[in-house]
Structure 1
C-alpha cells in the first residue's frame, strides 16, 4: 500500500528560500492480526511507526513525500509490494533519506539487507532508522551489519519457537490454526486476567455442517447438489473485518467433507492428533462420508433419463434378450409405443417375438403385484418366524462382537502410545505417519465389520419386517404410485420380468421377497399346525435395497 504526499521531484524550496530535503517512509507489520488489531484497518503498530518516522524526518529537516506500507508481510522475503514500489520510486526520484522505524522492518535476511542497501546507495539515498543510531560511516555500517544479522537470527529463531509452540499445542489437543467453518475462535479471560484462546462450536453453523455430513452419507446426492441445498438453507462463511459472509464454493465444501477436524481429530503436518474441541460429527459418520467420496470419481456421472418406468426391466420370454422401448407412427401421424425383442431387432437371434404394446406390458406388471400380496394371517405368522430366526442367529454372536470391540480398543491405545512417543521425541514424524496409516486401516476394517454386524442383525431384522409390510399392500400401492416409484418397486421386488409369446408375465422375485412369498405358500391351509424348522428360512442376504413405500 502506498500513501502519496504532495508531489515533489527535487529539493523543495521553503518560504525562507532554504531547500528542503526529501524522504520516503517505509512501514511494516508482520501479521494480519497486527495489521487489524484494534478493529481498524491499520491496527496499532503502523500509526506508531508513522509518527516516529515523521519525527525523525523533522529532526533531519526533511519532508516525507511518499509513504510505503506492507501490512501483514514478513521481512524474511524481499518480495513485498510496498518495498518493491519504494525501490522503484527512489530509483526514479531524487530522494535523500529512506526512513524506517527499525532496520528489521526493512529486512530480516542478511542477503536481502545487503541487496536493499546497495539499491539505496546506488540511488544516492541514505538509510535512516527512527529508533537506532546508525549512519554511513564504517563504524555505522558495521553496526548496521550486526543489527541485520541479529534481526535474521531473531526471525529464524522465532519461526522455530513458533513451530515448537504449535506442536506442543497440538499435543495438548489445541487447534494450531484458524478453526474451520462450524467453529468459532474465542478469546476469554481467566480469573487471573490472562487471555485464553479456545475453540467453540458455532451454534448457527454447526447444525448445518452436521446435516451436510448426514445428508451426503445417505448416498443420494453429489457434492454439487449438497452445495445447492446448503446454500438454500443459509450456510455462509464467518465474516471478517475485510471479508463479508458469502456462500461456500464447491472446493471449500469438498475440503469441509474431508476435514477430520469435524470428527474431533486435528491434521497437522500430515499427522493426525486427537483434538480437545467438541466434534460435530461421529467418527463412524465421517468415515462413511470418506468412503462415498472415494467411491465417486471426479468425472461427473451422466444421468440417464428413462422414458418409461419399465424400460430396461423387461426380457423376451422366447429368447431371453432384453426388450427395448420403441415407437411407431401410423399414416395418420399417431405414435404408438412398443416393447420389442432386442435379439430380433439386432438379428442376434432367430427369435420371432412380436412387439408388445406398452399398455399390455404395464397391465401385466401391475397385475403381478396382486399375485404376490399376502394376507394379514400370513404376515403375522411370517413376522414371528423372522424374529425367531434372528433370535437364533444372534446366539453365539456376542463373542465375535466382544472380540471386535477389544481389537478396536487395542488399536486406539496403540495410536495414543505412538503420539506420546512422538511428543517425547522417541520417534520421528515419518515413523508416526507410517504407523498411523497402518492403525487407521486396521480401525477402518474393525469399524466396517462392526457396522456390518449391526447391519446384518439389527438392520436385517428391520429390513425383513419392512418387506413384509410392503407385501401386505403391494398391489394397491403400485396401482396408485407414479412412474418413478413404480420403477423403484420393480427393481426392489423383481430380478427379472419375462413376457412370453402368448403375452403372459413370468416374474422372478428378488430376495427377501422370494423367501417370504415361498414361506407364505409353503404353509398350506391357514389352520395347518405342522411345526417347521426356521433356522435357515430367513437367513437371506439383506442387501438393503431401496425400499418402495408407495
Structure 2
C-alpha cells in the first residue's frame, strides 16, 4: 500500500467506564501513535478523541463525525492505538468492515499492524468479535460483582455525607465506613429536624455557622459549607437508617446506621407539612403536677437552643417557669429554673419524706401487677406484628405466582414487590425492637 497518497485521522478513545480502566490514557495513546506516524511517514490531517464507551452503538459523536468525513473523502485511513478503540459492538464493527472492504477506508494502522482492504475479512471479523465478546464478558463480570457486593450489605455507591469509602487496592474489597469528622454533625442535623422547629435551610445554616461544617476536600476542590439541597437529599435518603436502594429495592447494609427507621419516618412526616414548621409539643418531666409557690399557677417549661460563645456550638436548655394564668393575678416570681436546678430541688424535698412499710408493699404489688398487664399487652402486640410479617411474606409469594402466570406485567410486579419489601423491612425492624424490649422487661 502506498501510504503517501493516503490522508489519515488519528483516533484515540478512553472510556470512563470500568471496562477500560486498564487502557492507556488518551495522551499516552497519542504519544505512541505519533511515534508510529513518524516511523511510517503517515500523513495526518486531524487528531480526534473520544471519552465515551464503544460498547454502546452510536454513542460517540466524535467517532460518528469522523466516519461521516471519511465517507465524504476528507481522509482515507485511520491510525488508532489498538483496533478495539474503534468499536466494541457489532453494529459499528459491521459498518467499519464494510467501509474497509469496499475501499472507502483504505488503511487502518495500529501499533502492531496495518489493516488493508485486501486483507481477509475473516481475520478482521474474528478480531472484531473478540473485542465485542470481551465487552460482553466484562460487563457480566462487573454486574455479578455488584450483585455479590449488594448481597453482602455493601452499597456500590459513593458514600453520602457523614460516611467515607475505604480505599483498598484489592478490587471489590472496599466498603463504607463512618466519617469521624462529619458523622456527629449530620446526626445533629437529624436531631434538629426531629424537633420540628427548623426548616432544612435553617438546619444547614446552624451546621455551617455554628459548627463550621465543611465538605471533604479533594484534589480538585476545597471543602464547602453544607448546601441546603445536599442536606435535603440526605434526610430523605433511607441510607442513613442502615438500608440502601439498589435497582428499586431496599437492602440491609452492613455499615453503621445513623438514625432509626422510626426517626426517618418522623422526619418524612415533618417534611410533608405544607405550612411552616410549628413549635414541637414537648413532654417535660416535671410539668403538670407542680405549682408556683408565689401565685399558685401551674409550672410550665420551655426548651431553647443556644449558641455557646466559648466554643460556638449549640446546646439545648430546658427552663421551668410560672405560667401566670390564674385570673388577673400577677406573679412576683420572675425567675427561670433550669432542669438541673429542678432535679436538685425535688431530690431535696424527697429527703424529707419517709415511706410507710405497708404503703411501700402495696405500691410494689401494684407496680408488679401493672407490669404483668403491660407484658401481656406487649406479647399480644408482638404476635400481631409477627402475623402481619407473615402476611406480607405470603403476599410476596402470591405476587411471584401472578407474575409467572402473566397476570402481572414486569413493571406492575416490580412496583408491588418494592412496596411489600419496604413494608416488610419496617415490620421486621419493629418486630425485632419489640422483641428486645419484651425480653429486657421479662428479665427484670
TM-score of the aligned structures, taking structure 1 as reference length = 0.51
2:155 matches 1:170: no
Indicate yes or no: 2:50 matched with 1:70. Answer: yes
- SS in structure 2 at match of 1:188: coil
**Which of residues 270, 279, 290 is equivalent to 2:257?**
279
From 265, 268, 272, the counterpart of 2:243: 265
Q: Does 1:30 align with 2:7?
A: no
Segments of structure 1 that go 5 or more residues without pairing to the other structure are: 1-17, 38-42, 305-362, 420-426, 454-550
Pairing partner for 1:151 from 91, 115, 131: 131
Give how far 1:186 is off. Answer: 1.4
Q: Secondary structure at the match of 1:79?
A: coil
Alignment of 1:49 with 2:29, yes or no, is: yes
Give CA deviations for 1:93-135 in whole Å, capped at 9, x if unaligned. Answer: 8434211222322222211333456678797563333345532
Residue in structure 1 matched with residue 117 of structure 2 by the alignment = 136
Which residue of the other structure, out of 188, 192, 199, is the alignment partner of 2:176? Answer: 199
Greater displacement, 61-70 / 125-134: 125-134
Q: Choose the corresponding residue for 1:436, options 421, 433, 440.
A: 421
Q: Per-residue displacement from partner, 1:402-421 (whole Å, max 9, x unpaired)?
A: 444566678889999999xx
In structure 2, what is the equivalent of residue 500 of structure 1? Answer: none
Deviations 1:488-519 (A, max 9, x none): xxxxxxxxxxxxxxxxxxxxxxxxxxxxxxxx
Gaps in structure 2 of 5+ consecutive residues: 279-323, 333-344, 397-403, 405-409, 439-444
Judging changes above 3 Å, is the alpha-carbon distance between structure 1 residues 155 and 439 closer, same or farther for their aligned structure 2 residues?
same
CA RMSD, 1 decimal = 5.0
Cα separation, 1, equivalents of 2:179 and 2:193:
21
* Structure 1 residue 214 corresponds to structure 2 residue 175: no
- Whole-Å Cα distance in 1 between the matches of residues 106 and 181 of structure 2? 56
Q: Distance in 1 between matches of 2:426 and 2:248?
A: 16
1:329 paired residue number: none
Aligned to 1:61: 41
Higher relative contact order (CA 8 A, sep 6+): 1
| 1:367 paired to 2:344 | no
SS of equivalent residue, structure 2 residue 174 = strand
- Shift in CA distance, 151/195, structure 1 to aligned 2, threshold 3 Å: closer
Counterparts in 2 of 1:448 and 1:122: CA distance versus 1, 3 Å: farther
Change (3 A) 1:79 1:274: same
Q: Give the whole-Å Cα distance in 1 for the aligned partners of 2:48 and 2:172.
A: 33
Instruction: Pick closer, same or farther for the CA change 1:275–1:165 going to 2, 3 Å.
Output: same
- Mapped partners of 1:212, 1:303: distance in 2: 15
Q: Is the 8 A contact 2:248 2:418 kept in 1?
A: yes
Which one of 107, 130, 136 corresponds to residue 126 of structure 1? 107
Tell which structure's C-alpha radius of gyration is larger: 1
Contact 1:25 1:68 in 2 (8 A): yes
Shift of 1:56: 3.3
Separation in structure 1 between the aligned mates of residue 395 and residue 149 of structure 2, nearest angstrom: 17
**In the superposition, relative to structure 1, how do residues 151 and 404 fare at CA in structure 2: closer, same or farther (>3 Å)?**
farther
SS of the counterpart of 1:273? strand
Any idea what the Cα deviations from partners look like across 1:54-92, whole Å, max 9, x if unmatched?
343234321444323323645424333542454466577
Q: Secondary structure at the match of 1:367?
A: coil
User: Shift of residue 151 of structure 1?
Assistant: 2.6
Residue in structure 2 matched with residue 252 of structure 1 by the alignment: 230
Q: 1:367 to 1:196 in 2, by over 3 A?
A: same
Whether the 8 Å contact between 2:19 and 2:139 is mirrored in structure 1 is no
Question: Cα distance 1:279–1:449, how it changes in 2: closer, same or farther (>3 A)?
Answer: closer
Q: Is the 8 A contact 1:32 1:71 kept in 2?
A: no
| TM-score of the aligned structures, taking structure 2 as reference length | 0.62
Query: CA 1:276 to 1:241, structure 2 compared with 1: closer, same or farther past 3 Å?
Result: same
Equivalent residue for 2:141, pick from 161, 173, 185: 161
How many pairs does the alignment contain? 353
Give the 3-state SS of the residue equivalent to 2:154 in structure 1. Answer: coil
Give the C-alpha shift of residue 366 in structure 1: 7.2
Structure 2 residue matching 1:23: 3-state secondary structure: strand
